[in-house]
Amino acid sequence: RLRNLEEGFAAIITPALDLAFQDVQAVELAGTLPSGGTAVRTIQVCGPGAFIVLKALAFDKRGKPKDAYDLYYALRDHPDGVERIGQRIRGFGDRSEVRDAAAVFQRDFVRVDAVGPARVAEFLGGPDDALQADVAGFIRSLLDSLA
């Protein structure tokens, strides 16, 4: 959905985007510049709670393998762990977008043969029962942490 901001200028309206500004995390980036020299900067990025909610809503609309994989990767590898990510999501309160994200997880990810785990496996090369079980397990753990 587009929202016209002024003549010839519009923005895409993304449900729950405000969560990305509520759940923030500082990340330090360091590297060598193309012109030479090094730089270190600390930037604010979307925190894992908001990321998970936004990705679930994106998966609901698009069903892309990359969205499913991003959910799995974040839950599996984020240093906060599933329980702390769930705490961050609970901190958003009783928002319809959080309920919608949980419904997406319940519908599309908790069963090994559901579309979510299948899309993760597709992204990584094809059907894989062990991988799909792992995906479903992480999502079930997240849902447990939200209860």
Domain assignment of residue 80, yes or no: yes
| CA 4/CA 11 separation, integer angstroms | 7
**Long-range Cβ pairs for the range 100-103 (8 Å, 24+):** 100/15, 100/56, 100/57, 100/60, 101/52, 101/53, 101/56, 101/57, 102/56, 102/143, 102/146
Under the banding of pLDDT at 50, 70 and 90, the label for residue 1 is low
Q: pLDDT tens digits for 126-138?
A: 999 999 999 999 9
| 119 lies in some domain | yes
The reply to whether 113 falls in a domain is yes
Residue 64 lies in a domain: yes
Domain count for the chain: 1
Residue-range definition of the domain harbouring residue 81: 47-146
41 domain-assigned: no
pLDDT grade, residue 113 (50/70/90)? Answer: very high
Question: Which of the two residues, 17 and 28, has the higher pLDDT score?
Answer: 28
Is 79 inside a domain boundary? yes
The confidence score (pLDDT) of residue 7 equals 82
Average pLDDT of the chain?
95
pLDDT digits (tens, 9 = 90+) for 31-41: 999 999 999 99
Instruction: Report if residue 15 sits inside a domain.
Output: no
- Evaluate whether residue 20 is within a structural domain: no
